[in-house]
Amino acid sequence: MKIITALRLATTILLAALILLVPALVALPFQQPARTRIMTYPFQFFSYLLRWVFGTRLIAEGHHHTRGPLMKNHLFISNHLSLADTPLLLSLSPYPFIGKKEVMRTPIIAFAGNIGGNLLFDRANPEDRKRVQRDAVRRMREVSSIYLFPEGTRSKTGEPKPEPHWGLIWTAWQENISVVPIAIFGSEKILEQLTTRVWVKYGQPLLPADFSTKEQFATACWQRVHVMFNELKAAAEAMVSGIAIQPAESSGQ
């Protein structure tokens, strides 16, 4: 399996060079709104191919309402299980991510992601977190919506953490930015298996105006992630048991 994983990772870098490098260089002279638009579909195509490279069978629900022209004023929050979570989400709805600076070590992909609008911060620096929050609000207003893994790191238990980092979700409430909760189930097994079935579910946006405090809003957003995760987990267990229960809408894309 180690040899297969190495070949998959090498293929990933090769595909990144073939698909992402030229668009990133073309986008480089432009301002961020144009950069993000230029990189949107190359990243989606690249991420879609990675699902094939890593033998991923994706069952997705609810992502249809994020398609089309780049949405603004939405923060997408998801639980985090695997390095594969980012390309899985990009293959469905290609928006920039907020992430840690360590991802800059990834050849080509990090450069292309930076051009496409990813926002990176130093986890050890509280002031850098605040900077990214300010930049994220401006980007969501002026350029496009953004993905965030508010847990900060991948779950070691396979379950969403009880509490994430609340900062940007609180800021979303203060700035009247809607939050779209997302749940992922099964992605932690992708690097360990030849083929893997993964479930992803996008929920309906939660509106800040419906909540009287930032704490109520943030708690409701993260609780929704937990609820959807448990729904996906039940659907996966039912499928393994041979019971015909699946999420309400599914896509093999």
Nearest to 237 by CA among 202, 185, 188, 195: 185
Beta-sheet pairing, 97-100 with 56-61: unpaired
Q: Over 50: is that where the pLDDT of 253 sits?
A: no
Environment class of residue 1 by beta-carbon count within 10 Å: exposed (0-12), middle (13-18) or buried (19+)?
exposed
Q: Over 70: is that where the pLDDT of 246 sits?
A: no
Domain ranges, ordered by start, for the chain = 2-240
Whole-number Å distance between alpha carbons of 110 and 203: 28
CB 168 within 8 A of CB 136: yes
DSSP string, 66-123: G-SSPP-SEEEEE----TTHHHHHHHHS---EEEEGGGGGSTTHHHHHHHHT-EEE-T
Q: Look up the CATH number of domain 2-240.
A: 3.40.1130.10
The model's pLDDT over 12-62, given as tens digits with 9 standing for 90+, comes to 999 999 999 999 999 999 999 999 999 999 999 999 999 999 999 999 999
Residue 106: the pLDDT is: 86
Q: Over 80: is that where the pLDDT of 241 sits?
A: no
Q: How confident is the model at residue 123 (pLDDT cuts 50, 70, 90)?
A: confident
Whole-number Å distance between alpha carbons of 187 and 200: 9
- pTM of the predicted protein model: 0.90
| Residue 121 vs residues 21, 95, 158, 160: alpha-carbon distances, Å | 23, 18, 25, 22
Q: How confident is the model at residue 239 (pLDDT cuts 50, 70, 90)?
A: confident
